[in-house]
Amino acid sequence: MKFDVLTLFPEMFEILNQSIIGKAKEKELININLINIRDFSKDKHKKVDDTPYGGGAGMVIRPDVVYEAYKSIPNIENAKVIYMSPQGNILNQKKVEDLSKNKHLVILCGHYEGIDQRVLDKIVDEEISIGDYVLTGGEIPAMVLIDSVSRYVEGVLNQESVKEESFSNGLLEYPQYTRPEIFEGEKVPEILLSGHHQNIEKWRNDKSLEITKNKRPDLLKNNK
């Protein structure tokens, strides 16, 4: 799976060289290509933004610079272009799974007061939000999207974990335990030591349902 990221801050994405996503990049299971929007400025000072028409605080990213950066992406006609913004469709596990069906995603990151609306109207296929709060830029949301979607790419996770875990059945995850068997006087639930796989599976399913009812009853109505 290929991700092209259009950003003014490509250095922020170095976090993705760590851990599971870093390994997936090394194995070329995913390819994250960072495109610095500033490289497409024709200005002698590499300026990419300007003051908003109509007045007001802050700076707006120019449409022409973003459009040039966008046009530099090979095979762009077969890609889905996403703009990270609080105005977008909320990212949830269903949306993540749907996005993982794409071979090529282009993620546009805004900053400052945002990007000139005209280029957004021209190039964006879907606006996506990671939640109802405002960040300083779309870079962290882009990383959230890349991380969550990459987990669905074959080979990125070791085992069966994708299907088995939280949300795959629309429910929250059951509790996990490991050694020691007794921690500060608290024993591991007996059933998990029984070796009786059917009983263990039933216990885990019951726990998932109980936890979901208590912590996130809304999940029992919505989504998948």
Contacts with ligand 4GY by CB under 6 A lie at 84-86, 110-111, 114, 129-131, 133-135, 137-138, 141
Residue number with CB closer to ligand 4GY (9 or 167): 9
Residue length, the chain? 224
Closest approach of Cβ 99 to ligand 4GY, in Å?
Answer: 14
Least distance from ligand 4GY to the Cβ atom of residue 186, Å: 38
Here the tokens at position 178 are: 């490991």
Q: How many CA atoms lie within 13 A of 132 on its CB side?
A: 0
Q: Which is nearer to ligand 4GY, 66 or 171 (CB)?
A: 66
Residue number with CB closer to ligand 4GY (86 or 170): 86
Distance CA 188, CA 200 (A): 13
- Beta carbon of residue 144, minimum distance to ligand 4GY (angstroms, whole number): 8
Closest CA to 91 of 144, 32, 24: 144
Q: Phi and psi (nearest 5°) for 122?
A: -80, -35
84 beta partners: 109, 128
* Closest CB 3 distance from ligand 4GY, rounded Å: 15
Question: Nearer to ligand 4GY by C-beta: 57 or 182?
Answer: 57
